Amino acid sequence: MRGITDGPWRARRRVAGFPLLLAAVALSGCRATVPIRDLLDDPHAYDRRKVKVEGDVEAAAAAFGHGAYVIHDGTGALLVVAERDGGVPRAGARVAVVGWFRSLFRIGSVNGAVVLERDRDLRRWDREPGRE
């Protein structure tokens, strides 16, 4: 005797679950971190694409709610332009940034590239667990 889990019902259940799986992956925003070296070595491959970079803030400047900062991940340094209100993180802060990569120019070994920040997460790796 065939049960309800046999035959066409099993196939329908699999097909019905597939869109839910796709939606969960799309909404999770799990984007792999791109090393800054990769961005600078081949800027054309990443130009006008959304990227995620992580690292330490080396320098920051802000005025009237807008600003920019330089992030260094151990493989290279990159300018991040903060396009939202709320200023910029302090020098020495550890951040993860998601934004649009723009390759502005390349003259010899000098790269004019920026990330236009869309989202920022201050990483609190240097703090002890349980302390805010």
Strands 94-107 and 66-72: unpaired
Picking from 74, 124, 117, the residue whose alpha carbon sits closest to that of residue 94 is 124
Q: What is the pLDDT at residue 126?
A: 45
- Asked if 78 and 94 sit in the same domain, the reply is yes
- Global pTM reads 0.68
- Asked if 53 and 112 sit in the same domain, the reply is yes
- Asked if 25 and 40 sit in the same domain, the reply is no
- Asked if 40 and 55 sit in the same domain, the reply is yes
Residues 6+ apart with CB under 8 A from 108: none
Note whether residue 14 is domain-resident. yes
| CATH code for the domain of 52 | 2.40.50.140
> Which structural domain range is residue 55 located in?
36-123
Average pLDDT of each block of 10 consecutive residues along the chain (132 residues)?
57 52 42 92 94 96 88 95 82 94 85 89 54 41
